[in-house]
């Protein structure tokens, strides 16, 4: 993989680099949609990942299992439904850098965030506050505000929103740590993203956790845009909990089963939780007793039996991540994103501004782009790219997000994106 600063902008170089890539074969594991007779250039894995080819067979396999065994499918076969969520556990733990007992696939992201805040947001009169970044994804803000109100506090004073302090709307590490120091004695919870959805900025989970724990604060992360994107080390970060969705970089399909992490030090926590029977200790669950005995670890936060047909694609995709290896994927991600950035700065500097930090450790694979000029020009470019079979996404008020994901994107895709922008520029 070429290092930053050694890129060649020519088409032939991109094709040759793709041919040399040790991970190139993983592209064949995905269904690439077509546009006007050719494969699209897909840069929208930060919104919905492409379909793994094996996903269809995995779902059909479970449908056949249901048809052939009916209720006995819970206990018979190679992957009995009774234990199905366990068949994704090890691979998920690999993706997020956790112990298997610290992760569980369940529910959706917002549901998991609420469930874990039940346990980990325990406000008092002295410590009622939650610290978030002001540009938080709306669902997170709705969740924390509603939790604050549920506990009888006023978001006007108990919700602390951290303002961006860098020119492109990003946050410096110093500003985050300074805010934790300033408000630490009032904070019950620090809740930050792993990657900011609009700017693509990545955050230092361990540094945030260490500073917040120094002040006695609980720490959680929303990893919707970080899981499958960064080489996370959740266990070693020592954060208390994290949540994520699986339909973006984890390629598990629209509305896919989400995930949660709870650090092992909370495996047998006395903290309160909303309990359900699938979180009950497996050995005694079917005795149907009245007393809830939680399974140690993240499994203890489950409510209901897992949705088998929805978990099947996640099992397939998580296995691909295990095979590819997060370190290799991250290295390719840095190369692809660095190449795309280099092309934009060299060839489109008069057209596009990049809001995402340049330092590789401060971003994932997403570049957030703004068109230089009137706001309507940005929408015009976005629509042009869509018509040309280059799939990016648009976020109000003026951001085009392009995410070259290492499992299926190529250097040639990046070249194609830049060429499409240049063609649009030539028409103006």
CA distance 294 to 290: 12
Q: Which among 313, 213, 199 is positioned nearest to 263, based on CA atoms?
A: 213
Domain borders along the chain are 11-30+325-426, 59-323
Size of the chain, expressed as the number of residues it contains: 428
Beta-bridge partners for 104: 260
Residues of the chain with pLDDT under 70: 1-6
SS3 for 280? strand
Q: What is the pLDDT of residues 60-104, one digit of tens each?
A: 999 999 999 999 999 999 999 998 999 999 999 999 999 999 999
CA distance 14 to 177: 40
CATH assignment of 11-30+325-426, given 3.20.20.70, 3.65.10.10, 3.90.1150.10, 3.30.450.20? 3.90.1150.10
Quote the percentage of the chain above a pLDDT of 70: 99
Quote the percentage of the chain above a pLDDT of 90: 94
pLDDT given for residue 5 in this prediction: 52
Architecture, CATH, for domain 59-323: 3-Layer(aba) Sandwich (3.40)
pTM of the model: 0.96
Long-range contacts of 15-22 (CB under 8 A, 24+ apart): 15/411, 15/412, 17/411, 18/410, 18/411, 18/412, 21/332, 21/410, 22/328
CA distance 6 to 233: 30
């Amino acid at each position: 993989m070429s290092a930053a600063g050694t890129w060649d902008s020519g088409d032939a170089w991109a094709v040759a680099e793709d041919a040399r890539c040790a991970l190139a074969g993983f592209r064949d594991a995905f269904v690439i949609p077509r546009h006007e007779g050719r494969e699209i250039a897909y840069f929208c894995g930060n919104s919905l990942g492409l379909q793994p080819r094996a996903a269809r067979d995995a779902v059909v396999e479970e449908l056949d299992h249901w048809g052939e065994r009916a209720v006995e499918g819970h206990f018979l076969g190679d992957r009995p439904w009774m234990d199905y969520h366990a068949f994704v556990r090890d691979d998920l733990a690999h993706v997020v850098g956790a112990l298997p007992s610290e992760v569980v696939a369940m529910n959706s992201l917002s549901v998991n965030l609420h469930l874990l805040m039940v346990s980990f947001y325990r406000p008092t009169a002295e410590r009622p506050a939650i610290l978030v970044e002001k540009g938080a994804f709306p669902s997170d803000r709705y969740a924390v505000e509603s939790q604050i109100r549920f506990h009888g506090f006023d978001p006007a004073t108990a919700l602390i929103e951290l303002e961006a302090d860098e020119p492109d709307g990003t946050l410096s590490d110093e500003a985050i740590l300074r805010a934790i120091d300033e408000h630490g004695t009032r904070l019950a919870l620090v809740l930050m993203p792993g990657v900011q959805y609009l700017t693509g900025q990545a955050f230092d989970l361990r540094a945030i956790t260490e500073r917040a724990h120094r002040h006695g604060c609980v720490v959680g992360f929303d990893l919707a845009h970080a899981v499958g994107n960064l080489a996370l080390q959740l266990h070693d970060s020592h954060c208390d909990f994290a949540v994520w969705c699986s339909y973006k970089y984890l390629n598990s399909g629209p509305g896919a089963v989400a995930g949660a992490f709870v650090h092992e030090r909370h495996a047998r926590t006395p903290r309160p939780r909303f309990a359900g029977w699938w979180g009950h200790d497996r050995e005694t669950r079917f005795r149907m007793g009245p007393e809830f005995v939680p399974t140690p670890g993240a499994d203890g936060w489950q409510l209901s039996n897992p949705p088998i047909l929805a978990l099947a694609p996640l099992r397939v995709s998580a296995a691909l991540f295990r095979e590819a290896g997060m370190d290799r994927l991250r290295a390719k991600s840095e190369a692809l994103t660095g190449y795309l950035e280099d092309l934009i700065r060299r060839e489109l500097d008069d057209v596009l501004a990049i809001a995402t930090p340049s330092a590789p450790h401060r971003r994932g694979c997403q570049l957030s782009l703004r068109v230089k000029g009137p706001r309507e020009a940005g929408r015009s470019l976005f629509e042009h790219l869509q018509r040309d079979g280059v799939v990016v996404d648009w976020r109000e008020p003026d951001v085009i997000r392009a995410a070259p994901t290492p499992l299926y994107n190529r250097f040639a895709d990046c070249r194609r994106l830049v060429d499409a922008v240049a063609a649009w520029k030539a028409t103006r």
